Structure 1
Amino acid sequence: MPDTETLDGDVYVSPRHLASTTGTGDLALAPLLGLGWDFQYDEDSNLYVTAPDRRVRLGYLPEGEDDGLWRINAYKDAFGPPVWGVCFNDRVPTEFVTAFTTALATAYEQGPDAYLAQPVSGNDEHDPFLAVVPLLKHGWEIDRPRWGVFAIQAPDGLAGMEFTTGDLDPDAELTTRDARWQLWAGMSIDRPVWYATASTDTPVALLTAVTECVADPAPLPRWREATFSYIKGMAQLTPILPPGPPAPTPLDVQRAVVSRRPAVLPAASVPRWSTTSRPALPGPRR
């Protein structure tokens, strides 16, 4: 579990796919802003982040037209259509978005061959189903078969991931939930509490970074009072105990031993004269 001195919350939420958003985008924006990417706000306080080559763009849209809070697109040509697009809605756990932007920052530093790498079936590095492996390793199971859809579900049945086969509308993939990939949590995919979508050509490494974060069994810290009611009914909330006292250092032990020793009083001194001293006897007269 994280260091309790750096936690932002008073309860742990488990499983983590029920944790919902932290309510702030700072952590997810940090990996890209740390590379010096340009950013600007519009009149509604939406934030737009752009890579130096203008071929990757992120929108953080709390005042957007729908619940798509995070929209990230990549381009071969800065003035052409997007090659791939990813969307996280406004209740996705912020840690999952951070996993994506962290992987994106790494891929961007490696160059276009990394952040524009297209999935290739059967390829050891870019096979799209590599993104599913972290979930399967942590107990997610293949869901009931449906025509044209490969689906897996979390052990509690409250989260899932779907991969749609066949041809899809490229424009719809970028603007709706009708995308190649969809990750969700809630009662069902038709009524998700949060969802994330990724279009056909989204690099597998970026998707895998998200599924690895989702599959991590460690709980996530949240504030109980800010926790959505659906979480309180389905997730396990464990109080975060305050940190205990630090272990004593050798110097602390030495000071404690010294403090328990009896005090040594200084030898009593005899004053030369005081108001309580006996007056000196007079000497003999000459």
Structure 2
Amino acid sequence: MPVYAADPADPADHDALLDHFLDTHDDWDSWRPWSDDLAYATHETQTLRIERHHSAPATETAWTIAAYATPVSDRMWHLTATGATPTPMLQKLLHDLADGYGWDTAVGQSLDEASVTAATQPAADAGWKHTVQGRWIHWTAPNGEAGIQFDAFAAQRPNGALPTWLLWAGPTIDQPTWEIAASTHTPSTLLANLVETLAHGAVARPTTPLTPHAHQHTTPLPALPATAAKRTSSRPL
């Protein structure tokens, strides 16, 4: 059955996924702040950062990915995922970050129609319903249990609080089981690969719906100082 119909992921699965990623990618380092609820991973360039919230509820932000042009510059783009996001979606995300898809973005340029089309092509290929509702463009699975939302208003305000992209699954977009939200300049290749997994990926387990929630999105992660990527604790993630 489709990835979006999978059982909500267990937080332990998310932690194990991040541990495996760090164990198999020497160009990433991990560190902890004062709170045991949080863990961070940073690429050796100090321009790509992962924040993992271990105790986040299933319907709130448990992952934040942020990219920077330099270690001390403003953020280029960011992406968040809630605690119930299926493991295959996060596996694909981490795989693409490791393969360098986190940097193929045009900073300072407007998001054009070609980029939107490229990001959503896998959904179109899967026959997902395409609709326009005011400022929002939707691609929805045939059974209505998953979709993609593009917010044209948010796309014109890349530094705003609203996400430009929303990948979701659940009863409705307003009552999602899980969601991935992304900012305007999130690379279209990265988005397209996530959409491909959402639309065409398969798993074996059925869905267990969760309680509806209001969308949760984290505040911007600050740019990293030159020393921030060093490991500050020997404790494993």
- Same fold at TM > 0.5: yes
Instruction: Name the CA shift for 1:229/1:171 in 2 (closer, same or farther; >3 Å).
Output: closer
1:69 to 62, 66, 84: 62
Out of 52, 77, 99, which is 2:92 matched to? 99
Q: Which residue does the alignment assign to 1:35?
A: 25
Once the two structures are overlaid, the 10-residue window that deviates more, 127-136 or 64-73, is 64-73
Task: Name structure 2 gaps, 5 residues minimum.
Answer: 211-237
Between Structure 1 and Structure 2, the one with more helix by share is: 1
Matched, 1:170 2:162: no
Cα 1:149–1:29 shift into 2, 3 Å: farther
Once residues 22 and 134 of structure 2 are traced to their aligned partners in structure 1, the CA distance between those partners, rounded to angstroms, is 39
1:84 and 1:199 in contact (8 A); partners too: yes
| C-alpha contact 2:66 2:76 (8 A) present in aligned 1 | yes
Provide the rounded CA distance (Å) in 2 between the counterparts of 1:116 and 1:74: 11
Counterpart amino acid of 2:208? F
1:149-188, CA deviations, whole angstroms, 9 ceiling, x for partnerless residues? 111100101111011113236141xxxxx21100111122
3-state DSSP of counterpart to 1:213: helix
CA spacing shift, 1:155–1:196, aligned 2, 3 Å: same
Partner of 1:27, secondary structure, is helix
Alignment of 1:44 with 2:36, yes or no, is yes
Say if 1:212 and 1:229 are closer, same or farther in 2 by CA, change over 3 A: closer
Counterparts of residues 166-205 of structure 1 (less than 5 Å)? 166=153, 167-168=156-157, 170-172=159-161, 178-205=162-189
Match of 2:235 in 1: none
How far, CA to CA, are the matches of 2:198 and 2:82 in structure 1? Answer: 15
Which structure's CA Rg is the greater one?
1
Distance 2:144 2:174 in 1: 14
2:144 equivalent to 1:157 = yes
Superposed counterparts of 1:176-255, under 5 Å: 178-216=162-200, 218=202, 220-222=203-205, 228-229=208-209
Q: CA deviation at 1:101?
A: 1.2
1:44 is paired with a residue of what secondary structure? coil
- SS state of the match for residue 75, structure 2? coil
SS in 1 for 2:171: strand
| Contact 1:74–1:116, Cα closer than 8 Å, also in 2 | no
What is the CA deviation profile of residues 29-69 of structure 1, one whole-angstrom value per residue up to 9, with x for unaligned ones? 54455221110234324221001111000011123598110
Query: Structure 1 196/217 Cα, relative in aligned 2: closer, same or farther at 3 Å?
Result: closer
For 1:91-114, what per-residue CA distance to the aligned partner results, in whole angstroms no more than 9, with x for missing partners?
111110111111111016xxxxx6
* Count of matched residue positions in the alignment of Structure 1 and Structure 2: 200
In the TM superposition, structure 1's runs of 4+ consecutive aligned residues that sit over 4 Å from their partners are none
Question: C-alpha distance in 2, partners of 1:229/1:213?
Answer: 20
Pair 207,195 (structure 1): closer, same or farther in 2 beyond 3 Å: same
Q: 1:217: Cα distance to partner? A: 5.0
Give the TM-score, by structure 1 length.
Answer: 0.63
Contact kept, 8 Å, 2:158 with 2:183, in 1: the verdict is: no
SS at match of 1:152: strand
CA contact (8 A) 2:2 2:200 kept: no
Judge conservation of contact 2:120–2:192 (CA < 8 Å) in 1: yes
Larger RCO, structures 1/2 (Cα 8 Å, 6+ apart): 2
